[in-house]
C-alpha cells in the first residue's frame, strides 16, 4: 500500500531562531501520525533542523539542489552535500523554481538523475497554470511535464519518487483545486503512469496535492482515492495548522 505523506515546504521563510522555535512547536503538536511527515526548511537551517529533530519521526527535506556533483557553480548545493549532513529527500520542480529561476523540464531531468544517482528520494512538483486550465490543456501540460522530466527513468527508480501535483493557480492564492479536480488529475496521472510503465508502479507511487491546503479543506482533499497527502506551503509555517493537516491525513 502506498504511503500517505504530508510535507511542509517552508520556502524562503524562517531564520535560524524561528526555525528552531517552529520545530519545537511541531514536536509538541505532532507526536505521532500514520502519515510520513516531512519539513523542508531553507538550506542554511537543514543541519540545525536535523539536530532538533533527532529522535523525532518528522523528517527533513531540501527544497532544491544542483545537478552537478561539484564544481564552479557559485551559490549552488549538490546532492552529495545534502547527503553528507543527513538529508536524503529533495523537492524538485517547484513552480516557483520553474517561474522565477527558469527551471525547465530538461534541467529538471538532469536534477532528477543526479538526485537518484546520489540515492536521494525526490518530491517532484508539477502542475498547470491558470490559462492552461482555462483552455482545457491541463492534462496535456501535466502529461508533458511528467514525460519530459521523469519518463526516461527505469521502473525501479520510481520507488524513490513522490509526485506532487500543484496547480500553479492554487499556490499561495487561497484558491484550492476542488477535491474533485484534484482526484480527477491524480487519477489521470496514475493512468498516464500505467501506460508509460505498468499498474504496479502507478499504484505504488504516492501522489500529493499542493496548493492552498489548509486545516479546513485538508480532510476532504485527502479523502479522495488517489490523493496520498499534501505538499503544504503557507500553512506549514504555523505549527497548529500543519499539525491539523497532518491529522487530516490520518
Quote the DSSP letter at residue 2. Answer: P
3-state secondary structure of 16: helix
Check binding of 82 to ligand PGA (CB under 6 A).
no
The only residue of 23, 141, 234, 241 in contact with ligand PGA, by rule CB under 6 A: 234
Which set of grid coordinates corresponds to residue 5? 505523506
- Show the site string, 7-46: x = touches ligand PGA by CB under 6 A, - = not: --x-------------------------------------
Check binding of 52 to ligand PGA (CB under 6 A).
no
| Residues designated as active site | 94, 166
Distance of CA 128 to the CA centre of its chain: 16
Which H or E run includes 153? Answer: none
What CA–CA distance (Å, rounded) separates 229 from 4?
5
Check binding of 167 to ligand PGA (CB under 6 A).
no
Q: Is the dihedral of CA 39, 44, 45, 50 positive or negative?
A: positive
Per CB under 6 A, which of residues 204..233 are in contact with ligand PGA?
210-213, 231-233
Q: Are 210 and 233 in contact (CB under 8 A)?
A: yes
Check binding of 128 to ligand PGA (CB under 6 A).
no
Q: Count residues near ligand PGA (CB under 6 A).
A: 13
* Residues contributing to the site for ligand PGA (CB under 6 A): 9, 166, 171-172, 210-213, 231-235
Amino acid at each position: 500500500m502506498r504511503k500517505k505523506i504530508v510535507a511542509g515546504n517552508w520556502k524562503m521563510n524562517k531564520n535560524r531562531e524561528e526555525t528552531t522555535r517552529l520545530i519545537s512547536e511541531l514536536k509538541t503538536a505532532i507526536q505521532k501520525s500514520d502519515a510520513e511527515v516531512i519539513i523542508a526548511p531553507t538550506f542554511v537551517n537543514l543541519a540545525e533542523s536535523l539536530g532538533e529533530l533527532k529522535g523525532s519521526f518528522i523528517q527533513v527535506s531540501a527544497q532544491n539542489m544542483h545537478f552537478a556533483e561539484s564544481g564552479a557553480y557559485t551559490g549552488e548545493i549538490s546532492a552529495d552535500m545534502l547527503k553528507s549532513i543527513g538529508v536524503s529527500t529533495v523537492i524538485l520542480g517547484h513552480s516557483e523554481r520553474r517561474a522565477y529561476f527558469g527551471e525547465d523540464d530538461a534541467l529538471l531531468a538532469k536534477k532528477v538523475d543526479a538526485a537518484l544517482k546520489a540515492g536521494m528520494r525526490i518530491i517532484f512538483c508539477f502542475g498547470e497554470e491558470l490559462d492552461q486550465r482555462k483552455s482545457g490543456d491541463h492534462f496535456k501540460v501535466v502529461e508533458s511535464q511528467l514525460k519530459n522530466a521523469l519518463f526516461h527513468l527505469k521502473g525501479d527508480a520510481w520507488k524513490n519518487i513522490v509526485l506532487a501535483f500543484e496547480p500553479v493557480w492554487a499556490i499561495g492564492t487561497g484558491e484550492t483545486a476542488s477535491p474533485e479536480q484534484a482526484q480527477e488529475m491524480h487519477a489521470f496521472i496514475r493512468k498516464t503512469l500505467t501506460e508509460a510503465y505498468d499498474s504496479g508502479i502507478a499504484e505504488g507511487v504516492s501522489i500529493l496535492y499542493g496548493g492552498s491546503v489548509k486545516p479546513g479543506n485538508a480532510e476532504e482533499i485527502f479523502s479522495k482515492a488517489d490523493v496520498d497527502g499534501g505538499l503544504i506551503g503557507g500553512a506549514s509555517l504555523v505549527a497548529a495548522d500543519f499539525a491539523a493537516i497532518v491529522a487530516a491525513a490520518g
